Amino acid sequence: MSLKNLTREIVLGYLSALAATAIWSGNFIVARGLNDAIPPVSLAFCRWFVATAALFPFALKNLIAEWPEIKKHPGYFCITSFLGITTFNTLIYFAGHTTTALNLSLIAITFPIFILIFSRIIYKEPLTLVKIVGIVLVLCGVVILITKGRLSILLTISFNTGDIWMLAASLIFAVYTLFLKKKPDSVSVRGMQLSTFSLGLIFLTPFFVWEYSLVQDPFLNRTTIPAILYVGIFASLCSFILWNKAVIALGSSRAGMVYYTIPLFSGVLGFFFLKENISFMHLYSLILILTGIIIANHETREISEQ
């Protein structure tokens, strides 16, 4: 691959990762209001049902053509589907019922750290001093953003069941992201997504039936249906396709670092939709986070360009 094509692929990878995190930030704002309106498994089921239905007409041709190759890797596709589709977001919805937004944000930013650790253990990716410095800068920026510059807030945090669910979700998404890098080359992104969406939905169905048999409260109305369509089409279909492209182009570690921009996007969306204030503290956080991402990814980018 020429240097020009490689640079173009890297740029598109970063743009895809940024777009995915921006959409996921919107998902956090929308999903926050659905915690009391829809049970967690039902919300996850509706989300992936919509995502699968939306993707089906565009990816069915890919799935049929690539089915022989997909059948050669049943373990890979089943594990990837169960982790990324069935389990990850369902645990987040469970966590949202029993913990605070501050705790969720603090625990969510552990996901890229898990990627770096797992990449070091599994793929022997180097964890250099420069990369560690970048990670520390990013963490400082995110913590300042979340605590609004009042670091004393960290001393008052208590942890509960929801925090454990969120930590498990971060671990699972880190493993899922590492699995994406091992996608068979002959399987397209569309074929990969339709197969994992469908399998994940199948794995989720028994849990949905069980939860619905216990609750049996109608949850579809004029308020919840638009929100479900958003998390199904944008936060599930579009963001996962973008994220998969980013991981394939950049690698799991570099894509994972971009995940730290979620609080920044959440702040901007909160300003426009929730009328939340933006201050110089947000600017300081932005500088720290972007600087940390650039530093942490600098060595890997140099290696790729050689």
**Which range among 79-83, 209-213, 219-223, 300-304 has the greatest average pLDDT?**
79-83
Asked if the model's pLDDT at residue 277 lies above 70, the reply is: no
- Distance between CA atoms of 103 and 93, rounded to whole angstroms? 14
The model's pLDDT over 93-108, given as tens digits with 9 standing for 90+, comes to 888 777 766 566 667 7
- Distance between CA atoms of 55 and 193, rounded to whole angstroms? 8
- Distance between CA atoms of 168 and 95, rounded to whole angstroms? 10
AA letter at 205: T
Q: List the structure tokens of 209.
A: 């039936």
DSSP for 249-268, please give it.
HH-HHHHHHHGGGHHHHHHH
Name the region of 148 (left: φ>0; alpha: ψ -120 to 50; beta: rest). left
Instruction: Kindly give the interhelix angle for 280-305 and 3-32, rounded to the nearest 10 degrees.
Output: 150
3-state DSSP assignment of residue 142: helix
CA 143 remoteness from chain centre: 19
Would you place residue 305 in the very low, low, confident or very high pLDDT band (cuts 50, 70, 90)? very low
AA letter at 219: F
Angle among Cα 82, 84, 89 to the nearest 5 degrees reads: 105
3-state DSSP helix/strand/coil % of the chain, to nearest 5: 80, 0, 20
More confident residue, 98 or 38: 38
More confident residue, 209 or 254: 209
φ, ψ for residue 79, nearest 5 deg: -65, -45
The model's pLDDT over 8-34, given as tens digits with 9 standing for 90+, comes to 888 899 999 999 988 888 776 776 667
Which residues fall within 8 angstroms of residue 79, CB to CB, at 6 or more apart?
A: 179
φ, ψ for residue 262, nearest 5 deg: -55, -45
Mean pLDDT of the chain: 82
Q: List the structure tokens of 303.
A: 């290696």
What percent of the chain shows pLDDT beyond 70?
A: 86
3-state DSSP assignment of residue 106: helix
Q: What pLDDT was estimated at residue 102?
A: 57
- Distance between CA atoms of 91 and 75, rounded to whole angstroms? 22
Strands (E) located in the chain: none
Q: What pLDDT was estimated at residue 36?
A: 76
- Distance between CA atoms of 201 and 197, rounded to whole angstroms? 6
Q: What pLDDT was estimated at residue 142?
A: 74
Would you place residue 259 in the very low, low, confident or very high pLDDT band (cuts 50, 70, 90)? confident
How many CA within 13 A on the CB side of residue 96?
23
The model's pLDDT over 160-194, given as tens digits with 9 standing for 90+, comes to 787 788 889 989 988 998 888 788 989 998 899 99
Place of tokens 């029993």: 98
- Find the mean pLDDT for residues 62-75: 94
